[in-house]
Amino acid sequence: MQELRRLSPEEFKATKKTTIVIILDNIRSALNVGSAFRTSDAFLIAEIALCGITAKPPHREILKTAIGATKTVDWQAFEHTHRAVDYYKEQGFRIVAVEQAKNSTMLQNFEAAAGEKIALVFGNEVKGVEQGIMDVVDCCIEIPQFGSKHSFNVSVSMGIVLWSLTNKIRPELMK
């Protein structure tokens, strides 16, 4: 652990977090939720909002893929995704959907300032981000794709987007 410079859970809790929160909009798979926790731990994400039908810890499948990250990453549950969006807007976060949509900004062209507060909305594995949420987000980013498939697994999307945005918001971590 020392050679890898990994933080203990106590050190993680005390460390400055990246000013990104993740809003999970009705994620069906508890395995994907566990992956969200694990990836959030890796990028020092501030918090996860578990909305609607999204499973909550201590669900067995979350714990299987999170491998302990439910003990390090803060989270809260919201009955409806709209409540999470409103909550984070009130906290000064820019609400950004990750979705394939008209007028989306390609991830590599998305501008984010160091220290900017961003709440990323990741949608349901089948339906994507709910249209009512798409109607109220500040913007939408899309991951470019070049093959024959038209989507990534939501956990893969999280990894790609969090790496890119962490690079922009916390460049000191990427040295």
CATH number, domain of 72, equals: 3.40.1280.10
User: What is the number of domains present in the chain?
Assistant: 1
CA atoms within 13 A on the CB side of 108: 2
In a domain, 144, yes or no: yes
The encoded tokens of residue 106 equal: 């390609």
Query: For 74-132, what is each residue's pLDDT tens digit?
Result: 999 999 999 999 999 999 999 999 999 999 999 999 999 998 999 999 999 999 999 99
In a domain, 2, yes or no: no
Domain that holds residue 123: 9-174
**pLDDT band, residue 2 (cuts 50/70/90):** low
DSSP 148: S
In a domain, 22, yes or no: yes
In a domain, 103, yes or no: yes
Q: Is 89 exposed, middle or buried (0-12, 13-18, 19+ CB in 10 A)?
A: middle
Phi-psi bin for 83: left (phi > 0), alpha (psi -120 to 50), beta?
A: alpha
The encoded tokens of residue 39 equal: 């990836």
In a domain, 67, yes or no: yes
Which pLDDT score is estimated for 4? 66
Q: Strand, coil or helix: what is 97? A: strand
